[in-house]
């Protein structure tokens, strides 16, 4: 199973991080990422740039509203993620606990959906499409 | 949320277990004993962590407890000689924080678990247990065998290692190639059992395949300069990317040509390509040709990036199969080459390859040759011969679903023949 570790920081925590030696942060995070890779659980991940992005908002109108932001309005900033493949949720939590983050930061651990989540939709067109294709024999 | 302690201990074990066992085996020279005392430490953690909370450095805690249990075991066996006493003294002075796992010890552990003195079954069970950090219950669930069977295989493996006096070492340079191939073989065997399961209700088992992928990534971490370690992971990434499309809604296998490619995991294909590029770069840097896993991964990549069967670069696949056949001659590879040739050049050329395989008496008793020959003859319009081949294949297949398919093909060939 895959889990996404969603990293969020607060304005206070981000300000506190400014006081720290950036190279130390890189070293600590680098060692953490290396331990994830060596354990074979790291499937993906990235950091998000600190500058403001854009917000695409869906409303009852046909055209979504695009604006700058969402800075200033949120208390927690989504600033990075990992995707880990583990055999249990507990293991993903255990890895999350080992992340070298300071006070004020959070990691949310969320399961990534897989094919088993769509078993209830066996009558869906896209899943049906395949049901018609029968078992055959042969070398791939 | 308060965590369930047994599950938390298990999670810690999955992360720290292999390195703890590696440390303990290095210390004692006895993998069997290391595994036993590590189990005892786990049992103690269940009690202690529930009462006193989870310690800050879980790996060091478990290692320290296991070392104490190891000394107890030596005492019980009255084998506390001077060497053991020295270790005991050192332990009583050391603090828990001093535990620093060493990657080389983990590599030694991998080679020991995959030692050629062990049977394939034992290699698989021991590798999942000590390198994968899985419990015997989890291994039993994944391999679809009783827990007692897994325990027996692990016990047998430990006894064999002890009886053969297998040293806790990475192999000598002269043995490196075959032993390395042995390790890769065990990991790929675990993967293929998940990819085309030989037992059980489902014919693909994603959890087992994912464990193999994880082990493969661990190997990359241990031998990062080995091109074939990267290639093995690339091959598994490509094959795993197709799982969602390989099984129909009713649980039947779906052939590559018939798979809904929209359901292939594109991110996984991208990862496979990235790892294969790394493998190729490493091989090139050493002036080496692609190895067997790199060639198989390259073939899987051709399929992974093709929009459909027609869009597939069959000429390239033929060349890759030719290279693979030169490297590791094998009738199944040759048969796959014939299928690729039939797509690239046409069924007549392919039929000649299959005929020479059959003439050499290869794959006798298997339905593979007659079923491929049936397909090729059918495409050449030689219907009654095709029918005979499909019937011969049907008579040879032990699987009911496959037999039904072959009998349908035979019937279809007959209809068109008359």
CA distance A20 to chain B (A): 23
Question: Residue A110 belongs to what domain range?
Answer: 2-131
Whether residues B221 and A128 touch (CB distance < 8 A) is answered with no
Among chain B residues, CA nearest to A130: B248
Residue B222's CB is within 10 A of a number of other CB atoms, namely 21
CA distance B250 to chain A (A): 7
pLDDT band for position B216 (cuts 50, 70, 90): very high
**pLDDT tens string B272-304:** 999 999 999 999 999 999 999 999 999 999 999
Q: Which residues pair with A46 in a beta bridge?
A: A81
Confirm whether B151 is domain-assigned: no
Q: Chain A residues with CB inside 8 Å of B216's CB?
A: 40
> What average pLDDT is seen over chain A?
82
Confirm whether B78 is domain-assigned: yes
Q: Mean pLDDT, to the nearest integer, of A104-125?
A: 81
Q: Chain A residues with CB inside 8 Å of B207's CB?
A: 87
Whether residues B397 and A95 touch (CB distance < 8 A) is answered with no
Confirm whether A28 is domain-assigned: yes
Q: Mean pLDDT, to the nearest integer, of B349-369?
A: 92
Q: Between B336 and B193, where is the model more confident?
A: B336
Whether residues A139 and B12 touch (CB distance < 8 A) is answered with no
Nearest to B3 among A43, A90, A137 (CB): A90
- Residue A85 in contact with partner chain B when CB distance is under 8 A: yes
Question: Residue B53 belongs to what domain range?
Answer: 5-101
Among chain A residues, CA nearest to B264: A115
Whether residues A127 and B8 touch (CB distance < 8 A) is answered with no
ipTM: 0.74
Whichever domain contains A107, its CATH number is: 3.30.70.1060
Among chain A residues, CA nearest to B309: A140
Torsion of CA B195, B200, B202, B206, to 10 degrees: -40
Whether residues B15 and A44 touch (CB distance < 8 A) is answered with no
Whether residues B8 and A115 touch (CB distance < 8 A) is answered with no
The one-character DSSP state at B315 is H
**pLDDT tens string B389-416:** 999 999 998 777 778 888 989 999 877 6
Confirm whether A87 is domain-assigned: yes
Q: Chain A residues with CB inside 8 Å of B250's CB?
A: 131
Q: Chain A residues with CB inside 8 Å of B7's CB?
A: 88, 90
CA nearest neighbour of B67 among B11, B6, B16, B26: B26
Q: Mean pLDDT, to the nearest integer, of B158-176?
A: 91
Confirm whether A33 is domain-assigned: yes
Confirm whether A58 is domain-assigned: yes
pLDDT band for position A12 (cuts 50, 70, 90): confident
- Asked if residue A70 has a cis previous peptide bond (ω within 30° of 0), the answer is yes
Whether residues B216 and A40 touch (CB distance < 8 A) is answered with yes
* Contact of A82 with A42, CB cutoff 8 Å: yes
Give, for B221, the enclosing helix (H) or strand (E): helix B206-222
**pLDDT tens string B57-90:** 899 999 999 999 998 888 777 666 766 777 777 7
Residue B335's CB is within 10 A of a number of other CB atoms, namely 25
Whether residues B258 and A129 touch (CB distance < 8 A) is answered with no
Count of domains for chain A: 1
- Asked if pLDDT for residue B92 goes beyond 90, the answer is no
Q: The whole model's pTM is what? A: 0.84
Among chain A residues, CA nearest to B7: A90
pLDDT value at position A71? 59
- Asked if pLDDT for residue B246 goes beyond 90, the answer is no
Count of domains for chain B: 1
Nearest to B250 among A95, A131, A137 (CB): A131
Radius of gyration of chain A (CA): 20
**pLDDT tens string B5-50:** 888 899 999 999 999 999 999 988 899 999 999 999 999 999 999 9
pLDDT band for position A140 (cuts 50, 70, 90): very low
Q: Three-state SS for A135?
A: coil
Confirm whether A137 is domain-assigned: no
**Number of inter-chain CB pairs under 8 A, A vs B:** 121
Confirm whether B30 is domain-assigned: yes
Confirm whether A125 is domain-assigned: yes
Confirm whether A31 is domain-assigned: yes
């Amino acid at each position: 199973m895959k889990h996404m570790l969603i990293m969020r920081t607060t304005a206070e925590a981000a300000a506190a991080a400014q006081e720290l030696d950036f190279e130390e942060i890189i070293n600590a995070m680098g060692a953490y990422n290396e331990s994830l890779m060596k354990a074979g659980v790291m499937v993906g991940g990235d950091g998000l740039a600190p500058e403001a992005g854009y917000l695409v908002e869906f409303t009852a109108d046909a055209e979504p509203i695009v604006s700058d932001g969402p800075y200033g309005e949120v208390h927690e900033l989504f600033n990075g993620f990992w995707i880990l493949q583990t055999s249990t949720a507990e293991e993903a939590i255990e890895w999350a606990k080992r992340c070298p983050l300071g006070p004020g930061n959070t990691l949310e651990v969320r399961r990534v959906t897989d094919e088993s989540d769509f078993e209830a939709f066996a009558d869906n067109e896209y899943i049906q499409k395949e049901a018609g294709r029968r078992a055959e024999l042969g070398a791939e | 949320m308060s965590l369930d302690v047994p599950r938390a201990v298990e999670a810690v074990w999955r992360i720290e277990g292999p390195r703890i066992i590696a440390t303990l085996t290095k210390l004692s020279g006895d993998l069997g004993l290391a595994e036993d005392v590590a189990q005892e430490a786990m049992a103690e953690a269940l009690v202690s962590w529930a009462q006193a909370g989870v310690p800050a450095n879980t790996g060091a805690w478990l290692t320290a407890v296991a070392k104490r249990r190891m000394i107890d075991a030596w005492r019980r066996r009255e084998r506390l000689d001077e060497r053991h006493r020295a270790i005991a003294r050192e332990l009583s002075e050391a603090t828990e924080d001093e535990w620093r796992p060493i990657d080389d010890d983990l590599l030694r552990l991998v080679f020991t678990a995959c030692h050629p003195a062990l049977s394939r079954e034992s290699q698989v069970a021991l590798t999942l247990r000590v390198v994968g950090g899985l419990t015997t219950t989890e291994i039993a669930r994944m391999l679809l065998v009783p827990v007692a069977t897994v325990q027996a295989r692990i016990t047998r493996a430990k006894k064999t290692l002890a009886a053969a006096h297998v040293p806790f070492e990475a192999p000598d340079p002269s043995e490196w190639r075959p032993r390395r191939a042995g390790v890769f073989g065990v990991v790929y065997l675990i993967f293929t059992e998940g990819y085309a399961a030989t037992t059980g209700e489902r014919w693909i088992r994603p959890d087992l395949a994912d464990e193999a992928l994880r082990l493969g990534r661990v190997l990359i971490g241990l031998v990062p300069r080995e091109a074939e370690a990267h290639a093995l992971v690339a091959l598994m990434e490509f094959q795993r990317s197709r799982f969602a499309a390989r099984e129909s809604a009713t649980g039947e296998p779906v052939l590559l040509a018939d798979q809904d490619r929209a359901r292939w995991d594109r991110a996984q294909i991208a990862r496979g390509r990235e790892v294969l590029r790394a493998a190729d770069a490493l091989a090139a840097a050493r002036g080496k040709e692609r190895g067997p896993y790199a060639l198989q991964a390259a073939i899987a990549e051709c399929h992974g990036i093709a929009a459909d069967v027609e869009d597939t670069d069959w000429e390239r696949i033929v060349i890759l199969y030719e290279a693979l056949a030169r490297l590791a001659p094998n009738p199944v590879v040759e048969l796959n080459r014939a299928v690729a040739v039939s797509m690239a050049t046409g069924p007549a050329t392919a039929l000649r390859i299959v005929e020479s395989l059959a003439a050499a008496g290869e794959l006798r008793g298997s339905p593979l040759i007659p079923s491929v020959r049936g397909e090729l003859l059918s495409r050449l319009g030689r219907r009654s011969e095709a029918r005979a081949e499909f019937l011969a294949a049907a008579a040879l297949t032990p699987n009911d679903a496959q037999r039904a398919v072959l009998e349908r093909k035979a019937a279809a060939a007959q209809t068109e023949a008359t």
